[in-house]
Amino acid sequence: MAAQDTIRFIPERCDGCGDCMKACSKAKGGASRVSIVAGRDKSWEMALCRQCGDPKCVANCPAGALDKHGGTGIVGWSAELCVDCHLCTLGCAYGGIAFDPAAGHVGKCDLCDGAPACVPACGKGALEHLSAAARLHQAHAAREDMFVPGLSACQGCNSELLIRHTMRRIGRDSIVAAPPGCIPGMGTVGYNGQTGTKVPIFHPLLTNTAAMLGGIKRQYERKGRDVTVVALAGDGGAVDVGFQSLSGAAERGERVLFICVDNEGYMNTGMQASGSTTFGSWTSTTPVGEVGRGKSTDGKYLPQLMMGHGCAYVATASTAFLDDYHAKLDKALEASRAGFAYLHVHAPCPTGWRFPAAMTTEVCRRQVESNFVTLWEFTPAGGLRFTRGVEHPRPVTDYVRMIGKYKHLSPADLERIQASVDRRVETLQGFQRRSAAE
Amino acid sequence: MTESHAKYLIVGASHAGREALAAIRMHDPEGRLVMLSGEKHLPYSPTILPYVVSGRSLPERTALAGAEWFAENRAELVLDARVTGVDPAARAVRLADGRRWTYDRLLLATGAEPVLPPVEGLERVRHHVLRTLDDALALRRHAATARRAVVLGAGLVGLHAAETLAEAGLDVAVVEMRPHVLAEYFDPRASALIRETFERHGIRMLMGRRLERAAGTEPCRLGLDDGTELEADLLLVAAGVRPATAMLAGGPIATDRGILVDPRMRTNAEGVWAAGDVAQADGFLSGRPRVNGTLPEAVEQGRIAGMDMAGDADLVPYGGGLPLNTYGFFGRHAVAVGAAATPEGEGVEVHTDEAGGYCRIVLKDNRLIGLAAIDRLVDGGILWRLIQRRTDLAPVRDRFLSHPLETARALMSQGWR
C-alpha cells in the first residue's frame, strides 16, 4: 500500500489557541474536523481523521457512503448516499469522523484537496502537511524519465525505482557514470552503440569512476556549463574496488554527486562477497557448509568513512522512505555545486539475498525499523543528524528472519549481529551528540 | 446435478461476508473465492432497509459491493444461491435448487431472520417483516395506501419503521411486551426520553402489552392482553430476529442460539467458520457466548474469520462482543456503547447528566463499562476501545465524567501519536 498524505501533529508546539479549528470550521462551513483537546500536564492533544489504510468507518457504513480512494488515500464521504446512521463513528478510534450538528450530518477531514486550511492557520508550526510517497510518485511522474522503458533489473529490485526517481529529479543537464554492477547490467549503459538513457552515460572502470567524473566536471566548468555529474555505483564500485578513487575525489572536494546503491555484494556476477557484505551472510565466496558459516567479518560502513572525509554532504537512505530520500537528494544536489556529495542507499537484493521479490520494500522498511540501517545526514557545519529516530528499534532478528542468506545463523551469530548494530547506533549517536553540543 | 469447488466459500453477502472476503484477499491473492447469496439483489446491508422504506435510499443504490468490486478482488458472486444444507465431512454445501458447492474453507455468514412470536392467528393474517430488500419494497408499497399501522416490537427495526410510517402520514401504534423501548441498549430513563419523542410525534406507544390474537385482513384486528383492541391496515412484525441456522439442523455443527464459535470464529467443524449475526461468540463483559447482532460486530467478526481462513499471521483473536449502536430518531441522535443500561448498585458507579442532552456513564473500578448518550456528542468508536482496553480512568476521572468527548479524545491521542 502506498504511503499517502497526512497531517502531522507536533504537540510540543501547540498552545491550544484553536486557530486551526477556526480555519477548518470556516473552510468546511460547519464544525471543525480537527479537534484540539486538553491533555495531561497542560499539554494538547489532537483528534483528526488519519485516512486509515483499512478504514473501519468505511467497513461500518451500511449505505456505501464512505470510500477509500486508492490514489489519494483520502476517505471520502458522499452526502447523497449517507443516511445519517452514524455507525461510521463507532468504527473510528481517533475521533476522526463525528456528527456535525450545524451541518446535520457527519463530517471528516478530506485534506482540503491537498491544501489543508488548518496547517497554514497554525502560527506555531504544530501542524505539518506531510506529502508522502504517493505525492512524490505523482510529482515525479510529471517529470521526464531519463531512462528507456524496459530496463531488465531482476524482479523486485529497488535500484530501477531509485535511479528513475533520481534522474527525473536531476533532469537533462547531467552526465551519468555507471561503473560495473547491476545498474549498467540492467541496460542503462545500453547495447550495441545505443544508451539506455536520454542523458550522456558512460561505463567507467570500477577503479576510476569518481576520478573520471571529477575530471569531466572540471572540463565543463572550464567551458562555463552547469552540468550535474552523477555516479550510480554499486557497493563494489564504492566500498571495495572503487574506494581509492572515491576517497581521493572526496578529499579533493570534487563537485560530484556520488550515489552508492548498496546490495552488499557483487550480485550481478554471481553473488560474491564485497567489503560491504555483512557478518554471517551467505555469498558464493563466503559459503555455508561443513566449515564455512557465511562471512566471518563485519561489513565496512562506508557512510561513516565518507563523513570522515569531511564531504559537503553525506546521507544514508532507504527506498522504503522515499520522501526522506528525496529531501536528501535535493540537499545533495545543492551541496554538489560546491563540493563532494555522497548518498548511500540500501538495495536489498531478492535474487542474491533470497527473499520473495514482492517483499523488497518490506525488507527495506524492516532494515530501518530494526536499526540495521539507520537514516541520517551529515554536513561539516551541522554535523550528524538522524532523520528518523533510532530509539525504539525492533529486534534485529525481525529483519534477519526475512532474509535467506542469514538462514543458517545460530543464536550466538544473531547476538553478534544485534551487538554490532547496537554498537554502530551508539557510535552514530555519539557523533550526533557532539554535533548538537558544538 | 452440477458441482463446483472453491478454496474459500462464503455463504452470505452482507457485512461479515464482505469483510471476510476482503481480509482473505489481503493475504491470499490467488485462491478461488466464491460468495453465495440467497438474494437476487447485489449485496446490501439490512441496516439500510428502513431508509429504503422511507425513500431516503434508492433501492438500486444500496449495493455494498458491485461487479467491479468483485472483479477487483478476483472473487465470484453467485446470486440466488440459497444454502439448505452443510456437510462438513464432505466439505460441501447443498443449495435449494439442488446445486452443490464443495470447499476447502467455508464461512457461514447467513445473518439472522425475523422471529414470528407465537400469537394466535398471526401466521394467517397479512403482515410484514423487514429483513430483506424485497421486504422493504413491499412495506413501502403498502404504506402508500394504508391509513393505520401497527408495529409489533420496539427494537431498532420497529421504532425506525414506526417513525417512517408516521412521517408518511399513517396513524401508528407500537406494541411492545417489555416496559421499555430499546431495553438491550438503554436504561429506563433514556428509553423514556426516546419513547416520549415518539409520543410527541403522535405515535401510540403501548408498552408492557402483549399481542394475544390477530385476525382478519385490511383491516386486521389485534387483541392485546389488557383488552385493548386495535385495527390495522398494515401490520409490521418487528419482534426480534434469530440467527439463520436452519440449514444446519441435524448436522454436526454446534449451535446454541447461534453458531458457536471460538475467538478465531472457528466452529466445532474442521474447515468451517461463522461470523456476524448468525454467530454466537463470547461476550466481552460476561465472557459467556452471546449473539451480538450489530453491524460493527459483524465487520469485526468477518475480518477475523477471513484472516484466519487465509492463515494471516497478523490476526488478533476476537476480544469479545459488546452492545454497540447508534440510533437516530426524529432528528435526534442516540448512542449506546457497552453495558450502558446496567442498573445502579451491582458493583458499578453510575453518573447521569441531563444538561444539554442525556448522558449516562457506567464505571466499574474506575474503568468504563458503558455509556449512553442522547443529543450529546461522544465518539462511540473511542469509547468502545476504552472499554475493550480496560483503560484506567482514575487519573482523569472527574474530567471524563464532565467532558467525556474531549477527555476520551485526549486519551486516544496520547495512545496513537
**Do A41 and A79 belong together in one domain?**
yes
Range of the domain at A179: 144-437
**Which residue of chain A comes nearest to B388, CA vs CA?**
A93
Count of structural domains within chain A: 2
A124 and A159, same domain (yes or no):
no
A-B Cβ pairs (cutoff 8 Å, strict)? 120
pLDDT of the residue at A132: 65
Query: Higher model confidence: residue A134 or residue A131?
Result: A131
Of B46, B296, B379, which is closest to A95 when you measure between CB atoms?
B379
Mean predicted confidence (pLDDT) in A216-235: 95
Q: Which of A190, A187, A230, A193 is nearest to A212 (CA)?
A: A230
| CATH number for position A26 | 3.30.70.20
- Closest chain B residue to A92, measured at CA: B381
Query: Residues A106, A241: one domain?
Result: no
- What residues make up the domain containing B143? 133-239
**Predicted local confidence at residue A390, as pLDDT:** 93
The type of residue at B30 is E
Q: Are residues B303 and B393 in the same domain?
A: no
Instruction: Evaluate whether residue A135 is within a structural domain.
Output: no
pLDDT (tens digit, 9 = 90+) per residue, A45-87?
A: 999 999 988 899 999 999 999 999 877 889 999 999 999 999 9
Q: Name every chain B residue with its beta carbon within 8 A of the beta carbon of A81.
A: 57, 61
- Are residue A116 and residue A200 in the same domain, yes or no? no
- For the whole model, what pTM was predicted? 0.71
Q: pLDDT digit string (tens) for B345-395?
A: 878 999 999 988 999 999 999 999 999 999 999 999 999 999 999 999 999
| Residue A32 contacts B where some CB pair is shorter than 8 Å | no
Is A136 within a domain?
no
Question: Per-residue pLDDT averaged across B299-309, rounded?
Answer: 97
CA Rg, chain B, in Å? 22
Rounded Cα distance, B263 and B285, in Å? 15
Q: A114 and A158 share a domain? A: no
Do B29 and B105 fall within a single domain? yes
Report angle CA A194, A199, A203 to the nearest 5 degrees: 60
Same domain, yes or no, for A70 and A183?
no
State percent of chain A over pLDDT 90.
86
Q: What percent of chain B has pLDDT over 90?
A: 91
- With H, G, I as helix, E, B as strand and everything else as coil, classify residue A426: helix
How near does any CA of chain B get to the CA of A369, in Å? Answer: 17
- pLDDT mean across residues, chain B: 94
**Does one domain contain both B33 and B99?**
yes
Distance CA B109, CA A232 (A): 55
**Nearest Cα to Cα of residue A322 among A153, A155, A85, A140:** A140
Does any domain span residue A360? Answer: yes
pLDDT digit string, tens, across residues A113-126: 888 999 999 999 89
Q: Residue B392 carries which DSSP code?
A: B
Looking at the domain assignment, is residue A1 inside a domain?
no
pLDDT number for residue B1: 45
Residues 6+ away with beta carbon under 8 Å from B4: B34, B99, B100, B101, B102
Domain co-membership, B224 together with B285: no
Closest residue, chain A, to B416 (C-alpha): A94
Distance (Å) from the C-alpha of residue A212 to the closest C-alpha of chain B? 48
Number of structural domains (chain B) is: 3
Average pLDDT over residues B229-255: 96
Tell me, yes or no, whether B380 and B352 share the same domain: yes
CA distance linking residue A228 with residue A176, whole number of Å: 9
Q: Indicate if A93 and A188 belong to the same structural domain.
A: no
Statement to judge: residues B88 and B173 lie in one domain: no
Q: Of A39, A90, A99, which has the smallest distance from its Cβ to B324's Cβ?
A: A90
Is B226 in the same domain as B277? no
Is A358 in the B-facing interface, judged by CB distances under 8 Å? no
Residues 6+ apart with CB under 8 A from B81: B36, B37, B38, B95, B97, B99
Which of residues A130, A165, A187 is at a domain's end? A130
pLDDT bucket at B2, cuts 50 / 70 / 90: low
**pLDDT value, residue A2:** 44
All three cell numbers of B325:
449502536
From B239, B273, B302, the end of a domain falls on B239
In a domain, B25, yes or no: yes
Three-point CA angle B208, B212, B218, nearest 5°: 110
Mean pLDDT of chain A: 93
Query: In this structure, are A116 and A171 located in the same domain?
Result: no
- Greater confidence, A71 or B315? B315
Closest chain A residue to the Cα of B375, Cα to Cα? A101
Q: Does A85 touch chain B (CB under 8 A)?
A: yes
Mutate to test the interface with A, among B326, B330, B333, B416 (most CBs of A within 10 A): B326
Tens digit of pLDDT for each residue in A148-192? Answer: 988 999 999 999 999 999 999 999 999 999 999 999 999 999 887
Distance in Å, alpha carbon of A270 to nearest chain B alpha carbon: 32
Asked, for residue A139, whether it belongs to a domain, the answer is no
Cβ distance of B296 and A90 shorter than 8 Å: yes
Half-sphere exposure of A433 (CA within 13 A, CB side): 6
Contacts of A85 in chain B (CB under 8 A): 47, 51, 326, 328
Q: Are A378 and A386 a contacting pair, CB within 8 Å?
A: no
Does B199 lie in the same domain as B158? yes
Choosing from A87, A105, A130, the residue where a domain stops is A130
> Which residues of B are less than 8 Å from A86 in CB distance?
326, 328, 333, 335, 380
A16 at B interface, C-beta within 8 A: no
Q: B8 and B64, same structural domain?
A: yes
Q: Does A87 touch chain B (CB under 8 A)?
A: yes
Do residue B103 and residue B175 come from a single domain? no
Examine residue A172 and state whether it is found in any structural domain, yes or no: yes
% of chain B at pLDDT higher than 70: 99
Whether residue A205 sits in one domain with residue A91? no
Residue A48 gets the label, from left (phi > 0), alpha (psi -120 to 50) or beta, of beta
Please report the pLDDT score of residue A315 as a whole number: 98
Q: Closest approach of chain B CAs to the CA of A56, in angstroms?
A: 8
In a domain? residue B188: yes
Copy the grid coordinates of residue B123.
Answer: 401466521
Best mutation target among A32, A89, A127, A402 (most B Cβ atoms within 10 Å) is A89
The answer, yes or no, to whether residue B292 has pLDDT greater than 70, is: yes
Q: What value, to the nearest 5°, has the Cα angle with vertex A190 and ends A186 and A195?
A: 130
Residues A184, A62, single domain; the answer is: no
- B15-27 and B295-310 helices cross at what angle (nearest 10)? 30
Look up the CATH number of the domain holding residue A214. 3.40.50.970
Question: In this structure, are A103 and A178 located in the same domain?
Answer: no
Domain boundary among the residues A107, A130, A153 is at: A130
CB A314 within 8 A of CB A428: no
Are B73 and B41 contained in the same domain?
yes
Pairing mode, strands A201-202 and A174-177: parallel
Closest CA of chain A from B376, distance in Å: 10
Alpha carbon A23 to its chain centroid, in Å, reads 33
Residue of A45, A61, A362 to mutate for B, most B C-beta atoms under 10 A: A45
| B3 pLDDT above the threshold of 70 | no
Give me the interface pTM, i.e. the ipTM.
Answer: 0.93
Looking at the partner chain, which of A38, A86, A95 has a beta carbon nearest the beta carbon of B333? A86
pLDDT digits (tens, 9 = 90+) for A312-369: 999 999 999 998 999 999 999 999 999 999 999 999 999 999 999 999 999 999 999 9
In which residue are the cell numbers 483499512 written? A54
Q: Based on the domain organization, do A112 and A170 belong to the same domain?
A: no
Rg (chain A; Cα; Å): 25
Contact A278, A264 (CB under 8 A): yes
CA B251, B252, B254 angle in degrees (round to 5)? 110
Residue pair B282/B321 in contact (Cβ under 8 Å)? The answer is yes
In the predicted structure, residue A1 carries a pLDDT above the cut 50: no
* Range with the poorest average pLDDT among A208-217, A259-268, A427-436: A427-436
Instruction: For residues B101 and B138, state if they share a domain.
Output: no
Residues of A in contact with B48 (CB under 8 A): 62-63, 83
Tell me, yes or no, whether A126 lies in a domain.
yes
d(CA B255, CA B248): 8
In a domain, A196, yes or no: yes
A258, pLDDT greater than 90: yes
The residue from B181, B204, B239 where one domain ends is: B239
Question: Which CATH number goes with the domain that contains B89?
Answer: 3.50.50.60
State how far the Cα of A333 lies from the Cα of B146, in Å rounded to an integer: 77
pLDDT of res. A27:
95
